[in-house]
Amino acid sequence: MTQIMLSGVSKRYPGGHDALSDITLTVETGELVLVTGHSGAGKSTLLKLMAAIERPTAGSVLVNGQNIGTLRARGIPFLRRNFGLVFQDHKLLFDRSVFENLMLPLDIGGFDRREGARRARAALDKVNLLHKEKARPITLSGGEQQRLCIARAIVHRPAVLLADEPTGNLDSDYAAGIGRLFAEFNQVGVTIVLATHDTLLAELLAPRQIVLRDGRLQS
Amino acid sequence: MRAWGSAHYRACAGALRRLAATPLATLLNIVVIGIALALPMAFYVVLENARGMASDYSPQPELSLFLAPEASAADIKVLELRLKNHAGLASYRFVPKAQALEQLKSRAGLGDVAAGLPQNPLPDAFIVAARDSSSAALETLRAEFAAWPKVAEAHVDSDWVRRLDGLISIGRYAVLMLAAVLAFALVAITFNTIRLQILTQRDEIEVAKLIGATDGWIQRPFLYFGALAGAAGGITAWLLTAAGLLVFNNQLKPLAALYGLPLQLSHLNWSDSVYALAIAVVLGWFGAWLSVRRHLSAQNPR
């Protein structure tokens, strides 16, 4: 089954910069896809289009059959709940504990608080951060923050995981650990799209690769 | 349904936490809202009291017929008969000039003046109550009586009540206008407060939106905040007005004793108080809604 389908997609930012030009690709359910390319090639923009953070200038982006270009604003939150998002800059909230950071997506999804707490601890355990439950994210190391961000992306058990440079700025040991984590998620059926320029992940996961160059597909 | 209820409970608790997190700013905000509301409230209280007094002290409107000085006892008999047979009257009584002078003498401060007069300058008079006390009917009667022989002048005694009524209705417009301006101020105050809060919670709003929060979910604590601030401001306004009335009534006491009148202003009754509070809550909520709406729609994907 097709999870994500882009056809003839272009994205031009105000000011005339073309981030993506004429991209056509599909991601099947349960697939693990690696998007690579030099920085500025349009990897982040591609993920943003998939998650309806931005709308395409031309072409169509379909997620589970819904067209993001024409989706009404009030439909977007429900579309986004299909996704787990791992951000390049983590976007953790420093005014609350690690545990409360994980509760945010569950509160948003309307989970019962007790059931939510169980899931949050399970996700923390998965990324080996259970002992840091009460810590503030600011006290965590770069690798721990990255793992917390991944835990937050999977805590509500999304169908698709979109990760932008999940191993950026991490040494190779950490990166390998995170790579293995993604492999595990993929094994239980989560569709994963990773944007990275880390060759280590490509070697480790041996996925299907999409290469971008100056906003165009290279095959 | 339970999840929905608990989401509301948490949004409300979160709003209260935010109010408590910055006690001084919260206090100042509430006082500003309170003052903005107290002004029209106090004005309204004074008006309502004036209206109450006007209806308390206005008796059945009466007409006074002052007779010409040369009117004889026979003339008076004739007039009395005409009044007796007049279909439009409820009652009438005769006040001879001697009795009018006695009344004048018994009034505070005027006794000496009356005693110093060489002769009684007052005319005989009939005081007449009409069946139909509408001002048009009274005016017709007045014109009719004024044309009778030996009647020097006819007056409608309730003129002052109508003038007061007129003043009060102008006052009501003034209150309405003042209230509208200050309602706008209240909305502006909450708008700005919420705007500052949104700035401090920008990250949270951004992340929440990215991971699938609806606008309603994000708005909810801010809306509660606005409504709570409005409610607290409304209560403050009520208390401020109450304190003002307490002081004012104290000052009024000697004056009231002087006139022998029970001059005391009373506060809003319960239903008006509840209305005022509800208006404050709605305005606070509306200010918050405007503010958060503007911010959220700026974050939609384009």
Residues in chain A closer than 8 A to B211 (CB atoms): 80-81, 85, 104-105, 108, 152
Distance from CA of B217 to the nearest CA of A (A): 7
Q: Which residues contact B3 (CB under 8 A, 6 or more apart)?
A: A110, A111, A112
- Which pLDDT score is estimated for B255? 81
Comparing CB atoms, the residue among B4, B207, B213 nearest residue A77 is: B213
Residue of B nearest to A71 (CA): B301
Query: Which residue of A53, A76, A112 is the best one to mutate when testing the B interface, meaning the one whose CB has the most B CBs within 10 A?
Result: A76
Q: Which domains does chain B have, with CATH numbers?
A: 2-57+162-297 (no CATH), 62-157 (3.30.70.3040)
**Residue B12: helix, strand or coil by DSSP?**
helix
Q: Which domains does chain A have, with CATH numbers?
A: 1-82+158-219 (3.40.50.300), 94-157 (no CATH)
Residue of B nearest to A152 (CA): B211
Question: What average pLDDT score do residues A11-27 get?
Answer: 90
Q: Where are the beta strands (DSSP E) in B147-258?
A: 151-156
Question: What average pLDDT score do residues B231-243 get?
Answer: 93
Residue-wise pLDDT for A142-177, tens only, equals: 888 999 999 999 999 999 999 998 887 777 888 888
Q: Is the pLDDT of residue B252 over 70?
A: yes
Interface of B with A (CB under 8 A): 2-4, 6-7, 10, 203-204, 206-215, 217, 297, 300-302
Distance from CA of B212 to the nearest CA of A (A): 4
Q: How far apart are CA B264 and CA B125, in angstroms?
A: 35
ipTM above 0.85, yes or no: yes
- Which pLDDT score is estimated for B3? 62
Comparing CB atoms, the residue among A54, A93, A94 nearest residue B301 is: A54
Q: Which of A108, A199, A94 is nearest to A156 (CA)?
A: A108
Residue of A nearest to B217 (CA): A108
Residue of A nearest to B204 (CA): A93
Comparing CB atoms, the residue among A73, A85, A113 nearest residue B211 is: A85
Pairing of strands A160-164, A32-37: unpaired
How would residue B159 be classed by pLDDT, with cut points 50, 70 and 90? low
Contact A88, A47 (CB under 8 A): no
Distance from CA of A6 to the nearest CA of B (A): 17
How would residue B158 be classed by pLDDT, with cut points 50, 70 and 90? low
Q: How far apart are CA B283 and CA A133, in angstroms?
A: 41
Residue-wise pLDDT for B27-81, tens only, equals: 888 898 899 888 888 888 888 887 777 666 655 677 788 888 877 788 888 888 8
Q: How far apart are CA B47 and CA A57, in angstroms?
A: 62
Comparing CB atoms, the residue among A73, A93, A105 nearest residue B300 is: A73
Identify the DSSP state of A73: G
